[in-house]
Amino acid sequence: MSALELVLPGDPATRTGGYGYDRRIVAGLRSLGWSVRVHSLAGAYPHPADGDRAAAAQCFAALPDGALVLVDGLAYGALPEVAAREARRLRLVALVHHPLAAETGLAAAARERLLRAEREALAAARRVVVTGRGTATALREYDVAADRIVVVEPGTDPARPARGSGRAAPHLLYVATLTPRKAHGTLLEALAPLAAAPWTLDCVGSTGRDPACAARVSQQLHALGLAGRVRLRGELDDAALEAAWDGADLYVSAALYEGYGMALAEALARGLPVVATRVGAAPELVSPEAGRLVPPGDPEALRAVLAPLLVDPALRNVSAAGARRAAERLPRWEDACARLAEALGAIA
């Protein structure tokens, strides 16, 4: 039986795309006969305190010699000293959802510090698994040779088509943690001048990972007069999230950067028209028949493509049909886990 040690920061049950990916690969590898042990690191990664670094060092030191260790990049890139020290004893593999320095809102000094740390840590990895081709390209800046990178894109589960709101006023959905990178403010700027159209928006995602950002978004929607149109619903459990998907008529995303963009695939799987920014895997996932893509950080462009969709049900229906066709081409989790198992098996 092949064995893997998975090290990740925080609670594995955290409701983000990255942690969701981690959970699915654990389940998928186990179904393929792998033994997978999950180790959770305490601390505010990717900015751990000294005590958190010491605890992480103890976690790695306790792993058996020769162990195959897959480390989530949110922690791995912040622990270059641990990676360098353990690289000869352990078979280290980094799992990079997106480079740490690519996070929106970082001060220049913090960005440079993260870039240097992650570059040093990645040099100690035998392989680097990335969740999107864009991330593979981004790692050129980190001196990671192409033959050390394995792209394992997320899978998507089949889903029944969303039934929609059943109202003449279209109901929009955005599933994303409230952080600067997800640019909820840009979406609100785009929608505010369209208040004459009958629409509503639910934003689903944690408001606790960056409370300052969540507070700014809340203040902005009130300042723009959108409090009656927009709900910040926070994290939802599985049943409530599924109900939110089922009641949507249109999926929107204003993200400034994505490693992949799992929520876009989830939307397509449910036959929802998509309006999103051209980041991550969006150009490959969202065909012109399934939705519209705009440059990130451009509320005017976002508004221009949203405006006709908000008032024309026939146009939404055409895109919904295109989304259902796009869903048939989405990769499945079984394929993703098989590809990862193959890559890890080569090292093992």
Beta strands in the chain, from DSSP E residues, in sequence order: 3-9, 35-41, 68-72, 91-96, 127-130, 149-151, 171-175, 200-204, 230-234, 250-252, 274-277, 291-294
Q: Kindly report, residue by residue over 192-202, the tens digit of the pLDDT.
A: 999 999 999 99
Return the pLDDT at 279.
Answer: 96
pLDDT of residue 1 exceeding 90, the answer is no
Residues 229-245 have a mean pLDDT of: 96
Contact 75, 53 (CB under 8 A): no
3-155+331-347 folds as Rossmann fold (3.40.50)
Cα distance between residue 120 and residue 143, in whole Å:
9
Q: Is the dihedral of CA 60, 63, 66, 69 positive or negative?
A: negative
pLDDT of residue 236 exceeding 90, the answer is yes
pLDDT of residue 159 exceeding 90, the answer is yes
Opening angle at CA 135, ends 130 and 137, nearest 5 = 120
171-327 folds as Rossmann fold (3.40.50)
Q: Kindly report, residue by residue over 4-21, the tens digit of the pLDDT.
A: 999 999 999 998 889 999
Q: Kindly report, residue by residue over 198-220, the tens digit of the pLDDT.
A: 999 999 999 998 999 999 999 99
Residues 230-254 have a mean pLDDT of: 97
Q: Kindly report, residue by residue over 52-89, the tens digit of the pLDDT.
A: 999 999 999 999 999 999 999 999 999 999 999 999 99
pLDDT of residue 168 exceeding 90, the answer is no
- Give the percent of the chain with pLDDT over 70: 100
pLDDT of residue 242 exceeding 90, the answer is yes
Look up the pTM and report it: 0.92
pLDDT of residue 25 exceeding 90, the answer is yes
Could you tell me the pLDDT band of residue 114, with boundaries at 50, 70 and 90? Answer: very high
Whether 3-155+331-347 shares its CATH topology with 171-327 is answered yes
Contact 15, 235 (CB under 8 A): yes
Contact 4, 34 (CB under 8 A): yes
Residues 173-200 have a mean pLDDT of: 96
Write down the domain spans for the chain.
3-155+331-347, 171-327
Could you tell me the pLDDT band of residue 191, with boundaries at 50, 70 and 90? Answer: very high
168 vs 286, higher pLDDT: 286
The whole-chain average pLDDT of the chain stands at 96
Nearest CA to 10 out of 177, 245, 212, 185 is that of 177
Q: Kindly report, residue by residue over 283-327, the tens digit of the pLDDT.
A: 999 999 999 999 999 999 999 999 999 999 999 999 999 999 999
194-231 in b/e burial notation, b at 16+ Cβ within 10 A?
eeeeebbbbbbbbbeebeebbeebbebbeebebeebbe
pLDDT of residue 171 exceeding 90, the answer is yes
